[in-house]
Structures are given as structure tokens and as C-alpha cells.
Amino acid sequence: MPEVSVWAPNAARVRVAIAQPGLAIAQPGLAIAEPVEPIDNPAVTFDLEPAHGGWWRADVVEALPGRDYGFLLDDDEQVLPDPRSRRQPHGVHRMSRFYADDFAWTNAGWPGHGLSGSVIYELHIGTFTQAGTFDSAIERLDHLVELGVTHVEILPVNDFNGEWNWGYDGVLWYAVHEAYGGPDGLKRLIDACHGAGLAVTLDVVYNHLGASGNYLQRFGPYLKTGRNTWGDLVNLDGESAGPVREYILDNALTWLSEFHVDALRLDAVHALRDTSEVHLLAELSTRVSALSAELGRPLVLIAESDLNDPIMFTDRSEGGYGLDGQWDDDVHHALHALLSGERQAYYGDFGSLSALAKVLTRAFFHDGTYSSFRGRSHGKPVDTERTPGYRFVVCLQNHDQVGNRAAGDRLPRIVPPGMLKVGATLLLTSPFTPLLFMGEEWAAGTPWPFFTSHPEPELAEVTATGRIKEFADHGWDVGNVVNPQDPVAFTSAKLRWSERNEPGHADILALYRRLLWLRREHPDLADPRLPLVTVDFDENAGWLIVHRGAFDVLANLADHAQQFPSASADVLFSTETGQFADGPRNTLPAQSACIIRR
């Protein structure tokens, strides 16, 4: 007989309401997108019995897949969605639906893919295609295979209020957003990715809950006193924190096991306030290592962290968290500031060739140095002798660095084509794990601003005014700020795939494909051993040479052609025509790069 259970230590009585087949219970007074008419005698209710640790359980014969259900706490007649809901077909304010994990996988032999040797492609389901679904994304996997990436990274798909969103306002972490295609749609996409030889990384958010549709606190102490940038703190170390931690750990393991996900990108882990003896991240990496051994395939954990602290990927036996890698924003900042000339906000310490040389050889720029943006010393040094470069995921563009600009403008709107090509060359010959943001490979002309679709007017207003204040604090022209609630913010962000064949886009796509091919064919260009990377540069002249084994990567950032102090050799790749050898020297055109074999 099916068991129904829920953790609700705050309640003195718990009932489960199960709708009759094909019916749903109306929720008067709730802000929902599509209200339904009340139904006479819409459900049957059953009392759950208290169990150990604040859990409530009951065997209920009516708890069948496809039936809608929810919980009633104490004497309140409002039916609440299940905190561990697997489906929310009517939105986050409405009933959950019992879900059967009976998907027919075809990738039983999928070997998985570790972080070493990876190239990640980051995409948002809602804007990757016009339809904005998992199934429509499947139709574009051939493009990713031809491009030469190894991983598809999907922005958060957990359920949120409204029709469209970046995904970081999720409130039901186990449910897959229905508009994308629900849980089976996600499984179809992952199965198709594996069939095409692509690993899948899923972006997950455990540092806060969205502002609308969060009923967890009604059930138990999921949150604690205090706030981070995005909301109330998740209770990782307070009273009754154990089941909250299990809620997170079980969720992570569900994606990796039931959904066959290969890697998790852990959003903003610096916002996880945990003073426990064993940090949540260390406990997570322990559980995931055990699951990896059980499944017989690599499972990868990547942190987004702005701490610049090697504790993230230091082994647990040495006091670290034991993750596989982390995002390294310093590499992005060094490249972006150098190519664009921007120096506002956190770009203030970057923009020099010396800064780029440091991150290419040491990974972190701020490794104990003074950060003018933070007004204090920041970061810790990386032991480059023991730390391979592939542990650092780096980019020219990603959802944050594009979407957190006032107008959501991509790099091609900011830098000339020559500099864009130089940036791609330096990124894709680096010792790190490169990440591409969807459309970057053809210099997509579509913006990617921050967008939301909160149905509640007051939340919509707070979101819009909050963005204006944030950009003003960072020195942006607030007149350029896109209203995230304007539907055009979302629709304008959808990729125009026809651009790939147009002038100014097709040549960039060819360049990315060629660079990724060279990275695969010549291991020196992807060699992650940081001590073997050396860099020569002339700050005043504006040139840089990165030595990569048997190869040199030359970059001329000046607005005129100039000679390089490197021996003429076999040219494997050049971003522009007009390069030539002049005796012992190479001359490169303005704003260009090349790869030579010595």
C-alpha cells in the first residue's frame, strides 16, 4: 500500500487531501495564474500518524500516481503542496501530484564524464529555443555535438511562481517546472544528451527560497534568523536542522540518481551559513562519492563561490569540503576588463595584462590581496603544484555576467569583433575548464536581461525597484535597466538560431569550432598543470604570449599591427589574415590572436 509522509514538527495534526481522479482543489484567496471553480466534495482526507523526529506517516490506498494531493496542518483548511512534491501541474500555490518514477531510460551504458577535459555549455531552457521546453532543446543537441562541448549545464529547473524566471526563485526543490515539460521532460532531455555523448550538469540552489510560494516554514524550521543577499537563511545548523540538511542532501542525490544527472553546479555556496562540525558541502561530497561508487560512474560537484578559498576543492581528509571544482570569476573579470576597458564595480582591480597573467598561472587574482570593491583583503592562494587547472570553471560570458548588466547586453555589444576573437582564443587555450554561455559561439545578437513573471503586483514592484537600486550602487546608468517584469525582457532573450548562418555570426561559430577542435586534438592546449603555464607580456605595447607546452598563444590587443619577440613557426590558427613572419619575429594585425607550434 502506498505510504504518504511529511516532515511537519510544527503541527499537532496533519491530514492529506487527495483529489478525485481528474479533479483539482480550488484555493480561494491565493494568487494563482489560472483560478479554478470550487468543486463540491473535491477530495478525501486521511489523518497521518505522528512518527519519530517530527515526521507524519500513513498508508493510503488512494495515493496513486496521477492523483493530486496536499497537506492540511492542524485545523487550517488550506491545502498546502508537499515540500517534497515531484510535480506541480497547477503551479506552486496549488496541489502536488503523485508521481511514478517509471521512465524508460535508454542510456544504461552511459559511462559518465569527470571534470577533467570538459567544456561546459550553459543554457536556460526557457530561452534556449522559441518553444522553451526540454523537448525543443533536444532538437538542438546536434549543434552542441558539432560545436565540441562535453557538458550541457542547465540553469535551475525547480518549480517557481509565474511562467518564466531565471530559475533562482525556486520554492519546491524536488518539482520540475511544468512549463518546461515536467520531470519526464527533463529525463527525456538527459537521456538524449547521454545518447549524443553529452554529460549533463544541473544548476541547483540551496542558499535561499523564492519569495512567492514558499510554504515550507508552515511545516517546520526550514529557515533561521538572518538574511543573505537573496532571502532568509536556510537552517543548516540551528534547532531541528538535521531534517533540513537531509532535505537538501536527498534532493541532490535524487538529481544524480533518479534523473541520471552527471554534475551539480551549487549556486552561491558562500551564502550557506553553516557552523556545524561537518559543513553541509563536506557532507554532500561524502554522500556523492558513495553514490558515485555505487553507480559506477563519475559524479561531479562544482561550487559557485566568491570566497576565492581553496577549501572548496581541498580533500576532506585535509579539512576541505572535497568538491571537484568551482567557478573562478577572477578569470572572467581579467578577460572582460582587458577586452572591454570597463572598470566599474568589481572590475576595478582588473584590466591589466599583469592581472591576466596572474590568473592564467595562479587561478585567483585576489589570493590575499586587497580588493577595492570589497574594501578589504580577499581570498587565499592556490597550491598550484597540487591543484590542476581543470578544477576552475572559467568563462568570457555566463548568465550572471550578461544578465546582471543593466541592459543584459552580451560581450559582442561591448567589444569589437577582433577583441571578441582574442578573448575566445585565450579562454579556449587556458588550463581551466571553459564554459560557454548559450549563443556565445555565434556572437548572438539577442540580449539576456534579468526577467521574472511574478503574478503578485507588490512583488513585481519590489523586484523592479530592487534592480534599479542594485545597478545604481554598482555605478550603472539606471536609465538602461530593463524592467524584469516586462514580458519583452523574456521574449527578447530567446536565441535566434537563424543568426548562425548570417555574416558576422557564421565566422565566429567557425572560430569557436576550430578552437575547440584544436583543444581536443592537441593536449598541450588543454594541459591543466598550472606550473607549466608561463606568460610574457608588455603592458605598454599591449601584447601577450601564453606558453602552452609545444605551443605559443599570441595576442595583440593594440589597435595597430606589431611584432612579437617569438620565433616564427608553424601557425595552427589565426583570428585574422595579415599575420606574417619577419625573420625571427611574428607580426600580428591589430586586435588579433594566433596559435603557433614552436
CATH number of 550's domain:
2.60.40.1180
Specify if 62 maps to a domain: yes
Residue 219 amino acid letter:
F
Q: pLDDT (tens digit, 9 = 90+) per residue, 583-597?
A: 667 899 999 999 999
Return the pLDDT at 38. 37
Averaged over 407-433, what is the pLDDT? 98
E strand or H helix that includes residue 458: helix 457-473
pLDDT at 569: 76
Residues in a beta bridge with 71: 16, 80
Q: Is-contact 413 340, C-beta < 8 A? A: no
404: Cβ contacts below 8 Å, ≥ 6 apart: 450
For residue 145 the three cell numbers come to: 555535438
Cell of 50: 505522528
- Residue at 475 is within a domain: no
Question: Is 350 within a domain?
Answer: no
- The pLDDT tens digits of the residues spanning 209-230 come to 998 999 999 999 999 999 998 8
Average pLDDT over the chain, rounded to whole? 94
Q: Which whole number is the average pLDDT over 386-412? A: 97
Per the CB < 8 A criterion, the answer to whether 28 and 84 are in contact is no
The model's confidence at residue 478, banded by pLDDT at 50, 70 and 90, is confident
Q: How would residue 32 be classed by pLDDT, with cut points 50, 70 and 90?
A: very low
Closest CA to 254 of 115, 101, 71: 101
CA 337 from chain center: how many Å? 22
The x, y and z cell numbers of residue 331, run together, are 578569470
| In-domain check, residue 553 | yes
Q: What percent of the chain has pLDDT over 70?
A: 95
| Cβ count within 10 A of residue 64 | 13
Mean pLDDT of 396-412: 96
Question: What's the rounded mean pLDDT across residues 329-337?
Answer: 98
Helix, strand or coil, per DSSP, at residue 264: strand
Q: What angle do CA 411, 412, 413 make, to 5 degrees?
A: 90
Domain boundary among 76, 97, 118: 97
In whole angstroms, what is the distance from residue 88 CA to residue 80 CA?
11
**Which pLDDT does position 232 carry in this prediction?**
93
* For residues 439-458, average pLDDT: 96
Q: What is the pLDDT of residue 211?
A: 87
| Whole-number pLDDT of residue 39 | 39
pLDDT tens across 252-311, in order?
999 999 999 999 999 999 999 999 999 999 999 999 999 999 999 999 999 999 999 999
Q: Which three cell numbers stand for residue 113?
A: 564524464
CATH code of 49's domain: 2.60.40.10
| Cα separation values, 291 from 156, 183, 203, 269, 274, Å | 22, 21, 19, 21, 23
Average pLDDT of span 19-23: 77
Q: Is the pLDDT of residue 551 over 90?
A: yes
Cβ–Cβ contacts within 10 Å for residue 531, how many? Answer: 9
Dump pLDDT digits (tens) for 158-199. Answer: 999 999 999 999 999 999 999 999 999 999 999 999 999 999
Domain boundary among 55, 78, 97: 97
Residue 181: per-residue pLDDT? 98
Give the contacts of 38 (CB within 8 A, at least 6 positions apart). Answer: 26, 28
pLDDT over 90 at 557, yes or no: yes
For residue 430, is it within any domain? no
User: Would residue 311 count as lying in a domain?
Assistant: no
Give residue 587's pLDDT: 92
Write down the pLDDT at residue 578. 79
Q: Which residues are catalytic?
A: 267, 304
Residue 31 lies in a domain: yes
At 581 the pLDDT is: 65
pLDDT of residue 568: 65
Q: Which residue matches cell numbers 558513495? A: 290
Instruction: Return contacts of 59-65, CB within 8 angstroms, 24+ apart.
Output: 59/1, 59/2, 59/3, 59/4, 60/1, 60/2, 60/3, 60/4, 60/16, 60/18, 61/1, 61/2, 62/18, 63/2, 63/3, 63/4, 63/16, 63/18, 63/98, 64/2, 64/98, 65/98, 65/99, 65/100
pLDDT band at 40 (very low <50, low <70, confident <90, very high): very low
pLDDT at 561 over 90: yes
DSSP bridge pairs for 96: 69
Does a structural domain hold residue 14? yes
Q: What is the pLDDT of residues 47-71, one digit of tens each?
A: 999 999 999 999 999 999 999 999 9
Report residue 443 as a C-alpha cell.
556572437
Q: Classify strands 392-395 and 325-327 as parallel, antiparallel or unpaired.
A: parallel
Residue whose C-alpha is closest to residue 345's, from 354, 357, 336, 353: 336
Looking at the predicted structure, is the pLDDT value of residue 375 above 70?
yes
> Range of 593's domain?
533-597
Looking at residue 37, its pLDDT comes to: 38
Give the per-residue pLDDT at 354: 98
Read off the pLDDT of residues 307-324 as tens digits, 9 standing for 90 and up.
999 999 999 999 999 999
Per-residue pLDDT, averaged over 340-347, amounts to: 95
DSSP string, 162-197: SS---STT-SEEEEEPGGGTHHHHHHHHHHHHHHTT
Higher-confidence residue: 581 or 520?
520
Q: What is the pLDDT of residue 473?
A: 74
Between residues 475 and 502, the one the model is more confident about: 502
pTM as predicted: 0.96
Within 10 angstroms of residue 97's Cβ, the number of other Cβ atoms is 24
Q: Give the model's pLDDT for residue 43.
A: 79
What is the predicted pLDDT for the residue at 22?
Answer: 65
pLDDT at 558 over 90: yes
Last residue of a domain, one of 52, 75, 97: 97
Tell me the per-residue pLDDT of 133-150, one tens digit each, with 9 for 90 and over: 999 999 999 999 999 999
E strand map for 452-528: none
Number of structural domains (the chain) is 2
Sign of the dihedral through C-alpha 445, 451, 455, 456: negative
Q: Which residues pair with residue 395 across a beta bridge? A: 435
Residue 36, pLDDT above cutoff 50: no
